[in-house]
Chains A and B, each alone.
Chain A
Amino acid sequence: MIGLLRLELRRNITPFLLPTLAILLWLSPYGRSLTGTAVWTRRGEALQETLLGLGPAMAGAAAWTASRENRARTRELLATTARGGWSRTLPGWAATALWGLALLAAATGVLYGLTARAATWGGPPWWPVAATCAALLAFCSAGHAIGALLPGRFVAPLTAIGTFLLVVVAGALKTADASLGLVSPVGQVTDPYRALYYRAGHDLPVVELIFAAGVIALPLGLLALRGGAGGPLVRPAGIVLTAAGTAVAGTGLWLAGTGHIVANQGIATIPRLESRGDGRPIAYTPACDRTPIQVCVHPAVKARLGAAVAALHPVTDRLAGLPGVPTTIDQRMVDGPSIRGSVLLLPAPFEAYDTRGRIRGRVAREMRADTAAGLLLGAWDGTGSARQAAVLAVLVAAGDPPDGADLPIRDTPGPAVLAAARRLAALPQPAWHQWFAAHLSALRADRLTLKDLP
């Protein structure tokens, strides 16, 4: 058997696909995650997303390998050998699976190795790795069975494309909040950054694992039920594998069907697989800088603290020292800004954390606008003209373009608001401080109009 496996490993088509798969990996969320901040949860999800390309390719390769007997017209010749059909075909499946697992192991090693060097918080999530490996084996298993049962020239491309379509549809179902799609390892519905702040359960990878285990067993069992599959034990083994595979895959689907997805909040849960404590806040000590208005971030994104501070500096520098303005900005997983004592709780700008180097452009402008509105008003729902003008004035003074496109508050500011903002921004620094010190409370209470602005 080992000799046959060695032969299959040598003759397998997968090595031919490896360069293409490696390029695909690099251009997929896997490669993109490497350019962002080293956050374990994010990298774990990126690994699963590799299956969008890897899965169909491996299914196609497995179908190609399994249809070889028919393609080479050696089925009758091989039927006269001592080995049964099942034991003859299993090494082919194992060879494809081993090549796929080898690629996945290398990809995981690189991803997790680089993350281990750069991550500042947490540890490697192994559940996504297990779910990805199981899904890869399932793709190989299904592809192999299709190739063996329906051999022909179209079987490899149609298996690959059919699998791709299935993965795409399952992922689309998942992202469209259909709970049955939760068995698919592709299609992100959970927010990997949420897992930094709230305890995330393993319910999603577990259900993917259960479904994949069923899909691994079912096709292999079906192959053992074919005529000429082997000795007297092969058929019962096939019946057991088919029944177990159907039951396990069905259980996975049933469990997924009981799940809830709130895609826009990045939450997906399967109540029956939830463990106690899932969803509870995780305690951590934030990483903070030492500027007059301190900026604090989650320790997992400590590497982006400097860039966040630099992006916010034009605004924090302008507002530092004003009475009533918070002295600490704590970027957290919150829905909107709120002031608690001297601390402004602000939604963490995850898009900015995903970039590398300086935070610039739209992302930086939005960060500054959110922070300015938060520091001045403690809220983003300010629709009052004076409030809008005050926030815009801070942004204009910080060097941002005088338009309301980046403002987190409702309504687009009109020309009168923009003119007032420009006037306020043009004030000399002492007059600026004096005006804000005198009017900040009234501004927060929305008691000012544009006429009250200088």
Chain B
Amino acid sequence: MWVPSLRLVRLHLASRRAGLALVAIGAVALVIVLPIPRSGGMLGALVPLVVAMGAAAVVGAATASPIGEVERVTGRPLPALRGAAVLLMFGTAIALLAAAAAGRAPAGGSLPLLRACTGLTGITLLTAVAAGPQRSWTLPLAYTILCGHAIERSWRSLWFWPIRAGHDAPAATVAIALLLAGLLAIAVRGTRVSVRS
């Protein structure tokens, strides 16, 4: 089995701007501790979801390769590198969000926040594979807005798993399944490389 050298891992992470991504995720996580009103109905309830989506969007944007096709053609087998990079960033995002939620827990506790980040990262990765990392934020953003309308209309269908109760097992299953699907897709296929972008 091919094991990438530490130097290769470091270079791969540098090409994905992992350092900047972690700073961005940290900044997004800080929003949780800000004194934002949570009593503003649907909009107040949306804040934790937007934060989770923000962290997921950064993970998605960080999957972009600056050398695109050249990397695919000349590079060593990339799935392990891509998977490891995404896992590292996702893990950091979860840790930072959990730390922020420990400071000021969102309504409903920190579990829904972490679950939302998990599932939305999956959606972001799948969008990055299908439409490119530059556009990977569009679908999660649209889905988050839909969840806002679902909150407003008290929909509790599994289609809107991020807004279900914290200990809801089916919602957690969906979130984990989405993440695994996204991880698998990004590791095996990588992100879509567009000449125009």
Is the C-beta of A160 less than 8 angstroms from some C-beta in chain B?
yes
Q: In the complex, are the beta carbons of B138 and A153 less than 8 A apart?
A: no
Is the C-beta of B60 less than 8 angstroms from some C-beta in chain A?
yes
* Chain A contacts for B37, CB-based, 8 A: 169, 172-173, 176, 178
| CB nearest neighbor in B for A174 | B40
Q: Which residues in chain A, 10-32, are within 8 Å of chain B measured between CB atoms?
A: 11, 13, 16-17, 20, 23-24, 27-29
* Chain A contacts for B24, CB-based, 8 A: 154, 158
State the Cβ distance, B64 to closest chain A Cβ, in Å: 5
Residue numbers of B with Cβ under 8 A of A are 17, 20-21, 24, 28, 31, 36-41, 43-44, 46-47, 50-51, 53-54, 57-58, 60-62, 64, 133-139, 141-142, 144-146, 148-149, 196-197
State the Cβ distance, A92 to closest chain B Cβ, in Å: 15
Contact of B43 among A11, A27, A28, A171 (CB under 8 A): A171
Q: In which size bucket is the chain A interface?
A: 35 or more
* Chain A contacts for B144, CB-based, 8 A: 164
Q: In the complex, are the beta carbons of B36 and A172 less than 8 A apart?
A: yes
Residue numbers of A with Cβ under 8 A of B are 11, 13, 16-17, 20, 23-24, 27-29, 52-53, 56-57, 60, 64, 71, 152-154, 156-158, 160-162, 164-165, 168-169, 171-176, 178, 186-187
* Chain A contacts for B62, CB-based, 8 A: 153-154
* Chain A contacts for B36, CB-based, 8 A: 169, 172
Q: Name 18 interchain pairs, CB-CB below 8 A, sorted by A.
A: A16-B135, A24-B146, A28-B149, A153-B133, A154-B58, A154-B62, A157-B137, A158-B54, A158-B61, A160-B138, A160-B141, A162-B54, A165-B51, A169-B47, A171-B40, A171-B43, A173-B40, A176-B37
**A158-B141 contact given A168-B50, A176-B44, A186-B43, CB 8 Å threshold:** no
CA distance A176 to B43 in the complex (A): 10
Q: In the complex, are the beta carbons of A158 and B47 less than 8 A apart?
A: no
Enumerate the 3 nearest inter-chain pairs by beta-carbon distance, A residue then B residue, closest first: A172-B40, A157-B137, A157-B57
CA distance A60 to B134 in the complex (A): 10
Q: In the complex, are the beta carbons of A27 and B149 less than 8 A apart?
A: yes
* Chain A contacts for B58, CB-based, 8 A: 154, 157-158
State the Cβ distance, A260 to closest chain B Cβ, in Å: 17
* Chain B contacts for A176, CB-based, 8 A: 37, 39-40, 44
* Chain A contacts for B60, CB-based, 8 A: 157
Say whether chain B's binding surface is mostly helix, strand, loop, or mixed. Answer: helix
State the Cβ distance, A181 to closest chain B Cβ, in Å: 8
Q: In the complex, are the beta carbons of B43 and A53 less than 8 A apart?
A: no
**A160-B137 contact given A53-B145, A153-B62, A168-B47, CB 8 Å threshold:** yes
State the Cβ distance, B195 to closest chain A Cβ, in Å: 11
Contact of B141 among A57, A154, A175 (CB under 8 A): A57
**A161-B28 contact given A57-B141, A154-B21, CB 8 Å threshold:** yes
Contact of A161 among B43, B57, B142 (CB under 8 A): B57
CA distance A252 to B133 in the complex (A): 37
**A161-B53 contact given A20-B139, A152-B20, A176-B44, CB 8 Å threshold:** yes
Q: A158-B54, A172-B46, A187-B43 are in contact. List 15 more A-B contacts (CB 8 A).
A: A24-B145, A52-B145, A53-B142, A57-B142, A64-B134, A71-B197, A152-B20, A164-B144, A165-B31, A169-B36, A171-B43, A172-B38, A172-B47, A175-B43, A176-B39
Q: In the complex, are the beta carbons of A20 and B44 less than 8 A apart?
A: no
State the Cβ distance, B133 to closest chain A Cβ, in Å: 7
CA distance A157 to B62 in the complex (A): 11
| CB nearest neighbor in A for B124 | A157
Q: In the complex, are the beta carbons of B47 and A161 less than 8 A apart?
A: no
Q: In the complex, are the beta carbons of A153 and B39 less than 8 A apart?
A: no
* Chain A contacts for B137, CB-based, 8 A: 60, 156-157, 160-161
CA distance A124 to B88 in the complex (A): 53
